[in-house]
Structure 1
């Protein structure tokens, strides 16, 4: 059955494309009620203006969508005339627009709005009385009682631009009493009707010259979010207080926060406003407000509209209203000179929230997130540390670029590379050897980094406690908050630095021994990361030594002590592609014997070498081709690994967005992973985005030239192919046990079968190696064994083959498919040491094996029915 919403979306897009590329006359979109000469005559336009008005309106009505109003010949003619002439044209257009509204000729009225908006951006000469008449023509005539007519002046006319023109005039001449009276009516109307016109209110106050605290109108904030409600309550508590005027000016200044960065004027005024209130008082309030903003939930509001006899229901996600976002931006800008560790943490958390992608919308509040980045860049090394973490969290390419440039700018100012700056910026949180102790009254808390997790353990008189004592909340509340903050930040920093180390492979970075010793080996947090890792120590003579820090000494793969690096040496993260197979196996044995778990996959890292088919094709690899991936999941994975990718939609057929790309600046290369849309069985979502893509070639290019694969450095080739294998291994529909039974794409069911139970990829081969060591040590060992591509489990009722790649299950004797959807909230744990971070599929395989070995005890009716079928 065809989805009508999809047809509507695609049809509307096709119409838009047609309008964009072809001239569409005004008469195609609306019906003129009478001719333009009649319209301008009836509305009282001056005789000499009518030919200009007619020509301008006709050209604007008939122009293609690719042409701007300002590019029209008639508009250029108007601009050549005097400012007074343009003002008269504006007045005549406003009168004509009012008539268009009365006659319901909305298309012509929209055309005139575009013309008037363009004119209001030029120099204009009108009197105060004429500006007031313009506002009344916008529907803001307070001698009338029609609320709807007034409200249109705010959204359907260039209200803000016109107000700005009047403000310029009043800077040159004294305000007239009639103008003052009208502006007071307008200000009262804006604030009493809560129309979210904060900027307009501020402009009007300035024109009225309202400066004394007792003269200041009440500050009004939109109260459709918790932030606006909190500020409204805060201002209410200030009434008649000694600090009211100073706070009012500060918050009014924040309401002017427009643009990407604060101007010099804003910063100067902010400094004076903060000083008037008191630096410590402002800092304490902003700290609370930013913390609240970072924790403010995103509201999901269900909206229902009726149009054309049909009712439409949709979900709208609301964070902050527009005016409140700008006020929050102003508070952020002001905070740059008041930053505390708590404030920096809140700014970083708020940035991550603002950059979060909202379905069918995009980033939650990008401009506010950008303001957070600006503040963090002003926060010195602690701010850079937060930027470094944020760079690895956000997925949008333009945002990653913005953050990267902020780090580069800070590094340039300090005369170092961004990587060196990030080294220096990592806080240690008071840790020594991954451990910090705190004494709070009679209690002792120990913050430790264990297995990649920041944990706090409590005790009293040597006796362990399960959690923080409740009694401390009243006696040591702030210390508890500081400890919780340190735990959270230590966890964030550890994860961010682990990911940064993992990304450093393709950067081919070498670190001098003095810097490595200071910022890695002897750093309270970083040492927990670098000690379990293998490093290649490069000597000045060109030789090297691979070593790992173990038992207070540098040791080689055989466990023998080797000399400590010298100040002339450099260190590089070791990669198995750089070593012989025997050495890789020796390192794995050393890790196993010493129960040393690496924070990232290194000794067990997958290696991708050129294959004979790739040597024959030379310029591309088809190793990962012909897979079907869930496009949204693939997109998320790609961006997390630093790749750029744009979702493909049914409207562009993938012609412009058919590859995920990874920039490799050190090598001057770009890796490309080609994909195509899967156009089958209505395979797109409600917004016209394809649900699935099929994979194609992997290529490397330099500029416009495709590079031969043997020319690509082996480490870079291996890491790129590892990423692509990850995309396929996680996003493939073959991993979904319900995909076939839920319908999937019928034409691709053969692919699902072949992937779900086919040959193992490099990741699955490593998983097999781990299971060969794990299974004999587990309770499933007596009833399980590894056979080819499967973990075979002998239950009481049947025998099961769990595929080591997908985790899907076949039942003997007839290879009947068994669908078990794992509960991902339940983590499978074992007491057996694993020398690398376990992957999700490994946990799923173990949980399924543990379940199926006692298949006679399974109570889930869906599973039992399949087994006994």
Structure 2
């Protein structure tokens, strides 16, 4: 930072005379002309500060414009002062004031940048985005400023040995300074600045082939390049959302993970990671997608960083071979956490892309890539910690247990003191594996419940390998009721999986066992497809607490359509007209995968249609499947809502269904469908969700 002494009291007098016009127009101009070059630079700095502080703009603005057109020999330090006043933690002008005084404050800063040779690229880049927005929405006068910034930004970057250029990991957010502090020497290694500078040029979610080729070349020559990529991506995963120092043209300073320049850098690092041969690559991309795509505060559709989440999802979709299988597992976990609709569409597209490369459906690819996490055929993983053995195991109906066995064979539920003290790092790894197992079991429970709703069928070979015999999925699958057919679906036999000497059989409610032959096909048993007598038989035979299995199955609520509902056409009205507590209902809808606009006292906030895409059978190719979605109308209720614009109560409308047929390489448009055309299983599952909303979030007693 340079000191600013000013050109003396003469400037104040000239400004005052100019304002009062007692001496006629031009008093300030005459004073500035009387100064030498250094004096005019000092005067420009003083005038610029006055405009930043919202004083004398009517006089100082034209004077600054005149000085901006002169060759004043600006230094890099002086150029930095001008830009630092506009953006950053020490800015002297608020973002909304910067937009108002853009044409007064920015030209002199650009002139200083052009004359100094080296300038603050991140701030120029940020101002350029603001200028483009103002040009579009206010006036074409900003086009010239935008074009000047483009010329500056096209200038070649100067790389000096042992130094990281300022535009790499800049200070317009918390992420850049944190990474510079954490990885100082690593970031200045040979070739690293050039590699990171290239990463920062990626302004789109996807990298082109030529961009990736150049990235691979630079990464190969960068000292400890893989370590740099891992460290910086790990930093963004740990970065809390915060307000960044950029002029938002829309006036909303929404917290995010990084400002635009560092967002581009991380986006480039994600794509560069694909050229690193290491096991951490896919989990790191998945972690970035999860952290960036999760809503602010852990929930909601406004995610921490949509650009980073979208790029991370695209990177997962670009994985091939063994990495593709691992990427599918991450893509399968994300929809339960990520509510942003744009990111969610990217997840679905990435899943389809990876599956198409593999020649199987997305569902099949997910089931083939479920990790075993080092568990053996018994579902157990052991780690020796001195005289003790840590034992991680999975048990039916899909729970993970961590215990410690002592030298005498005694089983402990917590780690003994000697293990905590002598094997802290190993214990940390064991506990991390335990958490990973819990998360995978939760994902598998959710996946199997989707397949129950979709009516997916599996050949016996896949059922054995990927379900009942799998160390993780098996703990969930073996606790569920299945049914098998050997005659193409003419007759189904239900039972619980039971291991036999020759393989597996389904044990019926009456104690009989039906072997699962090699030509059989299997599916999860659903009470809607069974007769009342069979349902009653299984419920009577179910052990105590069966409703608390992996998910509700035998005691699952079913919603068959009544004849009068079918005759009504396309709308189901059985849950219409209920008043719900909106916040609670909205949270339940998000948990069950229903998305839509928010309600509130604002434009278009009076009503919304919440929609959920219903599961597609996992054995049907994407291009051949008919997709279904349910839509529920909700409307704002005045009663019980305050004047702060937030909806407190809502009312429910009818439920309707839409379909979209798959076509080769494309999807058709959604169209409304009659209730009679919708698969009964999907109708039942959608209405089950709506009944949950009504039962839990109802305001007052149920009128039924």
Same fold (TM over 0.5): yes
For the residue of structure 2 that corresponds to 1:690, the secondary structure is coil
Change (3 A) 1:473 1:158: farther
Distance in 2 (alpha carbons) for counterparts of 1:491 and 1:518 = 21
Q: Cα deviations across residues 780-816 of structure 1 (Å, max 9, x unaligned)?
A: xxxxxxxxxxxxxxxxxxxxxxxxxxxxxxxxxxxxx
Residue 438 (structure 1) aligned to one of 371, 383, 386: 383
Query: Which residues of structure 1 form unaligned runs of 5+?
Result: 1-42, 44-100, 110-132, 167-178, 302-311, 735-751, 760-869
Residue 291 (structure 2) aligned to one of 336, 353, 358: 353
Change (3 A) 1:416 1:667: closer
Change (3 A) 1:473 1:218: farther
Distance in 2 (alpha carbons) for counterparts of 1:138 and 1:352 = 51
Change (3 A) 1:434 1:725: farther
Instruction: Find the counterpart in structure 2 of residue 321 from structure 1.
Output: 259
Residue 434 (structure 2) aligned to one of 472, 476, 487: 487
Instruction: Find the counterpart in structure 2 of residue 142 from structure 1.
Output: 74
Q: Does 1:221 align with 2:221?
A: no
Instruction: Find the counterpart in structure 1 of residue 494 from structure 2.
Output: 546
The alignment's TM-score, normalised by the length of structure 2, stands at 0.71
Residue 519 (structure 1) aligned to one of 458, 466, 471: 466
Distance in 2 (alpha carbons) for counterparts of 1:529 and 1:352 = 24
- Once the two structures are TM-superposed, the CA of residue 473 in structure 1 deviates from its matched residue by 7.1
Change (3 A) 1:316 1:258: closer
- Residues 672 and 699 in structure 1, CA contact (< 8 A), matched pair in contact too: yes
Distance in 2 (alpha carbons) for counterparts of 1:447 and 1:135 = 72
For the residue of structure 1 that corresponds to 2:588, the secondary structure is helix
- Once the two structures are TM-superposed, the CA of residue 471 in structure 1 deviates from its matched residue by 5.8
For the residue of structure 1 that corresponds to 2:382, the secondary structure is strand
Matches within 5 A, 1:393-792: 393-431=337-375, 432-450=377-395, 452-461=398-407, 462-468=409-415, 479-541=426-488, 542-550=490-498, 552=500, 554-592=505-543, 598-611=549-562, 614=565, 617-653=568-604, 657-663=608-614, 666=625, 669-680=628-639, 682-683=641-642, 685-686=644-645, 689-702=646-659, 707-732=673-698, 734=699, 752=700, 754-755=701-702
Q: Does 1:251 align with 2:191?
A: no
- Once the two structures are TM-superposed, the CA of residue 248 in structure 1 deviates from its matched residue by 1.6
For the residue of structure 2 that corresponds to 1:426, the secondary structure is coil
Instruction: Find the counterpart in structure 1 of residue 302 from structure 2.
Output: 362
- Once the two structures are TM-superposed, the CA of residue 389 in structure 1 deviates from its matched residue by 0.8
Distance in 2 (alpha carbons) for counterparts of 1:319 and 1:140 = 39
- Once the two structures are TM-superposed, the CA of residue 426 in structure 1 deviates from its matched residue by 0.8
Distance in 2 (alpha carbons) for counterparts of 1:487 and 1:215 = 42
Change (3 A) 1:265 1:475: farther
- Residues 507 and 514 in structure 2, CA contact (< 8 A), matched pair in contact too: no
Change (3 A) 1:473 1:297: farther
Query: Which residues of structure 2 form unaligned runs of 5+?
Result: 1-28, 30-54, 88-97, 130-147, 245-250, 617-624, 661-669
Q: Cα deviations across residues 606-649 of structure 1 (Å, max 9, x unaligned)?
A: 11123465356454332212212233443343343233322134
Q: Cα deviations across residues 60-114 of structure 1 (Å, max 9, x unaligned)?
A: xxxxxxxxxxxxxxxxxxxxxxxxxxxxxxxxxxxxxxxxx987599x99xxxxx
Distance in 2 (alpha carbons) for counterparts of 1:652 and 1:290 = 39
- Residues 124 and 149 in structure 2, CA contact (< 8 A), matched pair in contact too: no
- Residues 291 and 343 in structure 1, CA contact (< 8 A), matched pair in contact too: no
Change (3 A) 1:615 1:105: farther
Distance in 1 (alpha carbons) for counterparts of 2:635 and 2:404 = 55
- Once the two structures are TM-superposed, the CA of residue 527 in structure 1 deviates from its matched residue by 0.6
Distance in 1 (alpha carbons) for counterparts of 2:498 and 2:460 = 17
Distance in 1 (alpha carbons) for counterparts of 2:441 and 2:536 = 28
Matches within 5 A, 1:133-212: 136=68, 142=74, 156=102, 183=114, 185=116, 187-188=118-119, 207-208=155-156, 210-211=158-159
Distance in 2 (alpha carbons) for counterparts of 1:711 and 1:258 = 45
For the residue of structure 1 that corresponds to 2:316, the secondary structure is helix
Which one has the largest radius of gyration?
Answer: 1
- Residues 227 and 320 in structure 1, CA contact (< 8 A), matched pair in contact too: yes
For the residue of structure 1 that corresponds to 2:688, the secondary structure is helix
Change (3 A) 1:660 1:274: closer
Distance in 2 (alpha carbons) for counterparts of 1:370 and 1:657 = 26
- Once the two structures are TM-superposed, the CA of residue 549 in structure 1 deviates from its matched residue by 1.0
Change (3 A) 1:603 1:562: same
Instruction: Find the counterpart in structure 2 of residue 237 from structure 1.
Output: 185
- Once the two structures are TM-superposed, the CA of residue 319 in structure 1 deviates from its matched residue by 3.3
Q: Cα deviations across residues 717-753 of structure 1 (Å, max 9, x unaligned)?
A: 2111101111222333x3xxxxxxxxxxxxxxxxx1x
Residue 274 (structure 2) aligned to one of 327, 331, 336: 336
- Once the two structures are TM-superposed, the CA of residue 466 in structure 1 deviates from its matched residue by 4.6
- Once the two structures are TM-superposed, the CA of residue 410 in structure 1 deviates from its matched residue by 0.5
Distance in 2 (alpha carbons) for counterparts of 1:272 and 1:160 = 38
Q: Does 1:389 align with 2:329?
A: no
- Residues 485 and 522 in structure 2, CA contact (< 8 A), matched pair in contact too: yes
- Once the two structures are TM-superposed, the CA of residue 368 in structure 1 deviates from its matched residue by 0.7
- Residues 270 and 334 in structure 1, CA contact (< 8 A), matched pair in contact too: yes
Change (3 A) 1:702 1:335: closer
- Once the two structures are TM-superposed, the CA of residue 497 in structure 1 deviates from its matched residue by 1.6
For the residue of structure 1 that corresponds to 2:367, the secondary structure is helix
Distance in 1 (alpha carbons) for counterparts of 2:591 and 2:282 = 24
Distance in 1 (alpha carbons) for counterparts of 2:418 and 2:215 = 41
Change (3 A) 1:555 1:234: closer
- Once the two structures are TM-superposed, the CA of residue 340 in structure 1 deviates from its matched residue by 4.0
Distance in 2 (alpha carbons) for counterparts of 1:367 and 1:647 = 22
For the residue of structure 2 that corresponds to 1:576, the secondary structure is coil
Instruction: Find the counterpart in structure 2 of residue 836 from structure 1.
Output: none
Instruction: Find the counterpart in structure 2 of residue 271 from structure 1.
Output: 216
Change (3 A) 1:372 1:140: farther
- Residues 537 and 545 in structure 1, CA contact (< 8 A), matched pair in contact too: yes
For the residue of structure 1 that corresponds to 2:456, the secondary structure is coil
- Superposition RMSD in Å: 4.6
Q: Cα deviations across residues 397-428 of structure 1 (Å, max 9, x unaligned)?
A: 33222101101100111111111111111111
Distance in 2 (alpha carbons) for counterparts of 1:705 and 1:320 = 40
For the residue of structure 2 that corresponds to 1:187, the secondary structure is coil
Q: Cα deviations across residues 263-309 of structure 1 (Å, max 9, x unaligned)?
A: 2233222212222235xx333343344334323333589xxxxxxxx
- Residues 629 and 659 in structure 2, CA contact (< 8 A), matched pair in contact too: yes
- Once the two structures are TM-superposed, the CA of residue 662 in structure 1 deviates from its matched residue by 3.8
Change (3 A) 1:343 1:675: same
Instruction: Find the counterpart in structure 2 of residue 174 from structure 1.
Output: none
Change (3 A) 1:244 1:234: farther
Q: Cα deviations across residues 530-566 of structure 1 (Å, max 9, x unaligned)?
A: 1111112122352221121146553444243333222
Distance in 2 (alpha carbons) for counterparts of 1:596 and 1:216 = 60
Change (3 A) 1:201 1:244: farther
